[in-house]
Amino acid sequence: MRMPTGALTLLALGSTVFFPWGFTSVLALLIALREPLAPLVVGIAFDVLYFAPGAYVFPIFSVCGFVLSVGAFFVRERLRTSIIR
């Protein structure tokens, strides 16, 4: 049974707290195939929860999430190319 898109996005958001960040990042990339905004959601959540002054020059996870979401948008647009309904 396919998992609803909303549940997958909430799972990605919750994993920012409960799982190591490497696992969460991979999860967000996989969910991006169904929900392109998932990397952006996860990136902003990482910075909201964990960013501190001096930890890095800028909130890099938000920037990376934005870039990956834009990439997922273009990939998703190209994958669904069927023009016959």
- Give the three-state DSSP class for 46: helix
Rounded CA gap, 48 and 54, in Å?
15
Of the pair 1, 7, the CB lying nearest other proteins is at 7
Task: Tell me how far, at minimum, the Cβ of 24 lies from other proteins, in Å.
Answer: 9
Which residue in 41, 46, 67 sits closest to 56, CA to CA?
46
Helix axes 21-31, 5-18, angle to 10 degrees: 170
| Residue of 3, 26, 30, 55 interacting with other proteins (CB under 8 A) | 55
66 binds other proteins (CB under 8 A): no
Site residues (vs other proteins, CB under 8 A): 4-6, 9-10, 13, 16-22, 34-38, 40-41, 44-46, 48-57, 61, 73-74, 76-77, 80, 83-85
